[in-house]
Structure 1
Amino acid sequence: MTIHQQPPASHDISAALSQLAGTELQALALVCTVGDGPAASVAAYITPDAASSAMFRHAIEMEGSYSDTLLSFDNNEPPYYGSDDRRIDLGLAADRLGVDRVLCVVMLDAAGKVAVTRDYDGLEVTLLEAANIQFNRFTDMLDGVMKIPTRTVQ
């Protein structure tokens, strides 16, 4: 798959999403699509210090499990983390980050609250599979199996 554009530098991603969330984010994980149609690919980003929170790690695992559920065509409710206070506009996030579509953002704010905003509606199965792979990679990174890079692109 070809990447037509790339997200900006990592500090810009954190700053842009902190602004949209209305608070400074301690950690975040982002899965998005870049490109359109058959040339579309999935890009992912996780903050380098994300491993410091067990709640954040658990949310990453839950989002990976939820994407597994979607791939198996089960009709389960998405995970809920106790508050919708930090939901962000994913369309606006995509515009600010220079990507085509933000599929999921997992955020940890300075107060230790986890929030997730996701949109998989109408997503092609191959892109959903690629997003699921990214959640598995995030889990591996948080387990210390892989070094956390500043940007992961598939």
Structure 2
Amino acid sequence: MMYPLEFYGEMCGLSLFVTEYTNNGRLAIILIDRDGEDFADVTVNLPGERCPEGCAFVDTSNSPWLEEFIVWNGLGEFTGAYGYSGFCSYPQYRFYPQAISRSPKNTYRAEYLERGRWKKLEDFDSEDEAYECMEDQYYFDNKNGEPFVKYRVREVRGEK
């Protein structure tokens, strides 16, 4: 699902990438833009703070607009608690399960550069397969007299 956000006078369409922090399994949420790139971390990991299941601390230090975004889009509600790190305090939110179902696994995309924009070549389940495709395409283009085409592989979060 795409969520609208006006950011510095421009409208952005953002989606949620929902996962967990590897060190403690707590809820982690990242906002992703239409190109699959990270836009903002919604949550911050505060391992020393008590945090019930389904709750997370919101990174208002880096993105002060996040509380309004969460409430406006019906993603969760403020619990009344705060977590602390350094000189910053972070509000704790209970996220609604129906709004933050876990994101599908990551894929890897082989892309090529055309007129200043990266275009999709193909998506793969593994990074190795994507690099293999990119190398094959690069070899093919060089063989056919197009030695200056640029390629890359990037991780695409939560797309099918």
**Same topology, TM > 0.5:** no
Q: TM-score, normalised by structure 1?
A: 0.29
Bigger relative contact order, structure 1 or 2, given CA contacts below 8 A and separation 6+?
1
Which of the two has higher C-alpha Rg? 2
> Going by fraction, where is helix more abundant, 1 or 2?
1
Q: TM-score, normalised by structure 2?
A: 0.28
